[in-house]
Structure 1
Amino acid sequence: MSKIIKGIKLRLYPNQAQQAQLWQMFGNDRFVWNQMLAMAKSRYENNPSSHFVNGYQMDALLKTLKQEYPFLRESDSTSLQVVNHNLDQAFKMLFQHKGGQPRFKSRRSSYQSYTGKSKLYVVAKRYLKLPKLGYIKTSKTSQLQNVKIKRYTVSHDPTGRYYLSLQVEAEVNQLPRTGKTVGLDVGVADLAISSDGIKYGTFNARWLEKQATKWQSRYAKRCHRANVAVRQWNHNHKTAKLELDDYQNWQLARVMKSRYQQRIANQRRDYLHKLTTNLVKQYDVIVIEDLKTKNLQKNHYLAKSIANASWYQFRTMLQYKCDWYGKQLVVVKPNYTSQICSHCGFHSGKKALAIREWTCPRCDTHHDRDINAAVNILHKGLKAVG
């Protein structure tokens, strides 16, 4: 039995008072980020040779900040420390030329969150006790048995729902050995083709995608109309000013298109979880090809299909589940896997994508293109691990 770090996401159902308190806590984290960022920028402008104020020094400034702005005491103190840590990391990435310059955060953002490191308590089947918020209703807490919560994040997403994301340390039993190995060739028509000849189809949610596209179009049109109306009103009325948020029609469209997009993402993730768990249970060694998804998506004819297949997410899930359950994932280069005969090793040359089946001119073996590639991937992987 080994210990692992994993994430658990639960739905929150705060009452009206808790919702108001949550938005105050979102705002407090945003306020501390903006204050610390403004301080760092003004410090650099006044004296470019001055030393950077790191995360520990920012934490020391929190006491003074709380005295000046008492509303910051309404937040979990660890969440403000996490803000300082994140800003410190952002500047370090900037100095190492691995990221852009940190930006100020806006209250108009459709996604708001705060992260804390304080202890949470499970008080009932559907209730948790959160710092500063007290008892709050949530979805099933059965997943939180026998785990150690390391940090938590409360978020409000564009769909208008509240979520609690937990980073926990849990114990996992390794799966029994089966003695089986498999090679996987990923594709567009089928998500994965195994060397055993099994084809796993890609995720399909055409109706949801159609609805998301429809509401995305409505959102864009309504937002444009609202912007035009706001500019006209503010031009003609100098005293009473309107804002875009005063028009509710486009906000309804924003929520609807976000909910359809989230349903697609959730169903795709669920499909990938079930598929990868099934593969890890069946095989001890899984060999896959190392594809550069970003490069392949430059082909505009296949970009949407490749994105829908979620090859990177599929590989990531296989990787950590193999690590959890004591299985082995081997990654090999995909060079010539669809061109070499898996029976005799003859290299038949490059073939157009339209050719899905072919016969080896040397040994007369008839091949399915994808299954033949999966067998070659398996041979490469087994050779690599000896």
Structure 2
Amino acid sequence: MLKGIKLRLYPNKTQQDQLWQMFGNDRFVWNQMLAMMNERYKNNKDLPFLSKFKLDYLLKPLKKEYPFLETSDSTSLQVVNEFLNQAWKNFFNDKTGKVGKPHFHSRRYLKLSYTGKATVKIAGKRYLYLPKLGYIKTSKTDVLKDSKIKRYTVSLEPTGKYYVSLQVEVVRLNRFRRTNKKVGIDVGVTDLAILSNGLKYPSFDGSYYEKKAISWQQKYSRRRHFAQMLCLQDKQRKALCPRSLDSFFNWQKAQKTKASYQAKVAAQRKDYLHKLTTHLVKQYDVIAIEDLKVKNLKKNHHLAKSIVNASWGMFRQMLEYKCRWYGKQLVVVNPKNTSRICSNCGHNSGEKPLDIREWTCSKCNAHHDRDINAAINILNKAKSVL
């Protein structure tokens, strides 16, 4: 069974310089290979595109021509070829026309990261051994006990912090005890999860840090614009020592502060979802949810922000893999008419506006909470599937 584990890295100054070089090497190889493939495709469109193995074969002469590529983990350059090959496959195999040709990676806008498949060793309670970097300080490695590391990704976040994401293979996870309970879950905006037994779990509230992030985003935009204007003035006046954008540190400080608040909101939301989904998987053996098309729902501009904040997609994703890990069952049902049907008699009373939160069935006179009634209908649909 595969798991993903993310650890914080604390590289020294030499290792930070090495990491910057390795990030740049991945970008350089991508651009070189893509330029070659574009030229080949331009000259003869009937030629089949190069496979991953043929691209890997070209790495050896490329390293001789550009010796600085030797500073990278060789498997990370092979992963670049793997991603590029997949991007070309998507371009040729896509029938909708929505997937374009792979584009060149920019130094300015690309996320700084690289992925490798070489051996990563646990060197101590707070140390890992990474290829080319050597021993590097990290957060606690106890979570890697009794697991085999398959692939790793080192990344630099906008906050200035380094992380390593590890794909590990675990032999077996301890399953949760059986409770013989079933539950239907309806997701909402105000309350994230409404259970068929009447329990409601509120959505995550990150308004405090979101306001801070918006405030610093405005400061960042103003400071960067002011710095750009000063650079333009120096250029127009033909100053002897014109200032560059990187010489202004106030907008860079605002950028990092803004990113730290955004990261804090994201981390707290993820932590909340982890705790909630783990609690649900522990409590119930069968969990029924709706098969919602979140991408389509976000087209409603009045609810899009609330839907994104509730993270319905991440909530479902966590339930899926945790049920698989811990021996529980997740049933996904069609959401059609779950809010319209009376859970008591089955009468369909038609569409109801979102502002109606409670209603009474015209056939059996049963009074319903809209969300709890939908959760019960979801559970009933799941029982028919089971």
Q: Which range, TM-score by smaller chain?
A: over 0.9
Is the partner of 1:172 in helix, strand or coil?
Answer: coil
Partner of 2:125: 125
Is the partner of 1:152 in helix, strand or coil?
Answer: strand
- AA aligned opposite 1:294: K
- Structure 1 residues 110 and 262 mapped into 2: Cα distance closer, same or farther (>3 Å)? farther
Measure how far apart 1:238 and its partner are.
7.0
Equivalent-residue separation in structure 2 for 1:233 and 1:311 (angstroms): 50
- AA aligned opposite 2:271: D
Equivalent-residue separation in structure 1 for 2:336 and 2:379 (angstroms): 13
- AA aligned opposite 1:183: G
- AA aligned opposite 1:147: S
Equivalent-residue separation in structure 2 for 1:101 and 1:84 (angstroms): 15
Measure how far apart 1:80 and its partner are.
0.8
Equivalent-residue separation in structure 1 for 2:316 and 2:184 (angstroms): 13
Measure how far apart 1:350 and its partner are.
2.1
What stretches of structure 2 of length at least 5 have no aligned partner? none
In the TM superposition, what whole-angstrom CA distance separates every residue of 1:223-248 from its partner, at most 9, and x where no partner exists?
22222222222222276554322222
Kept after mapping to 2: 8 A contact 1:340/1:347: yes
- AA aligned opposite 1:244: L
- AA aligned opposite 2:339: S
Partner of 2:143: 143
TM alignment of 1:302-321, pairs within 5 A: 302-321=303-322
Please state if 1:5 is matched with 2:6: no
What stretches of structure 1 of length at least 5 have no aligned partner? none
Equivalent-residue separation in structure 1 for 2:29 and 2:351 (angstroms): 58
1:64 to 56, 61, 70: 61
> TM-score, with normalisation over the residues of structure 2?
0.96
Kept after mapping to 2: 8 A contact 1:66/1:72: yes
Partner of 1:18: 15
In the TM superposition, what whole-angstrom CA distance separates every residue of 1:201-231 from its partner, at most 9, and x where no partner exists?
0000111010011011111112222222222
In the TM superposition, what whole-angstrom CA distance separates every residue of 1:167-187 from its partner, at most 9, and x where no partner exists?
011121222211110000111
Kept after mapping to 2: 8 A contact 1:110/1:157: no
Partner of 2:302: 301
Measure how far apart 1:20 and its partner are.
0.5
Equivalent-residue separation in structure 2 for 1:199 and 1:328 (angstroms): 21
Measure how far apart 1:357 and its partner are.
1.4
- AA aligned opposite 2:304: A
Please state if 1:73 is matched with 2:70: yes
Equivalent-residue separation in structure 1 for 2:360 and 2:114 (angstroms): 59
TM alignment of 1:74-223, pairs within 5 A: 74-97=71-94, 99-109=99-109, 111-170=111-170, 171-223=172-224
Kept after mapping to 2: 8 A contact 1:226/1:247: yes
Kept after mapping to 2: 8 A contact 1:114/1:154: yes
Equivalent-residue separation in structure 2 for 1:108 and 1:338 (angstroms): 48
Measure how far apart 1:71 and its partner are.
1.1
Partner of 1:224: 225
Measure how far apart 1:360 and its partner are.
2.0
Is the partner of 2:58 in helix, strand or coil?
Answer: helix
Partner of 1:341: 342
Measure how far apart 1:110 and its partner are.
6.1
Kept after mapping to 2: 8 A contact 1:158/1:255: yes
Equivalent-residue separation in structure 2 for 1:184 and 1:136 (angstroms): 44
Kept after mapping to 2: 8 A contact 1:234/1:240: no
- AA aligned opposite 2:129: K
2:27 to 25, 30, 41: 30
Please state if 1:54 is matched with 2:51: yes
Segment of structure 1 superposing worse, 33-42 or 242-251: 242-251
Is the partner of 2:178 in helix, strand or coil?
Answer: coil
Partner of 1:328: 329
- AA aligned opposite 2:322: K
Kept after mapping to 2: 8 A contact 1:78/1:118: yes
- AA aligned opposite 1:250: W
Alpha-carbon RMSD: 1.4
TM alignment of 1:341-380, pairs within 5 A: 341-380=342-381
Measure how far apart 1:188 and its partner are.
0.7
Measure how far apart 1:112 and its partner are.
0.4
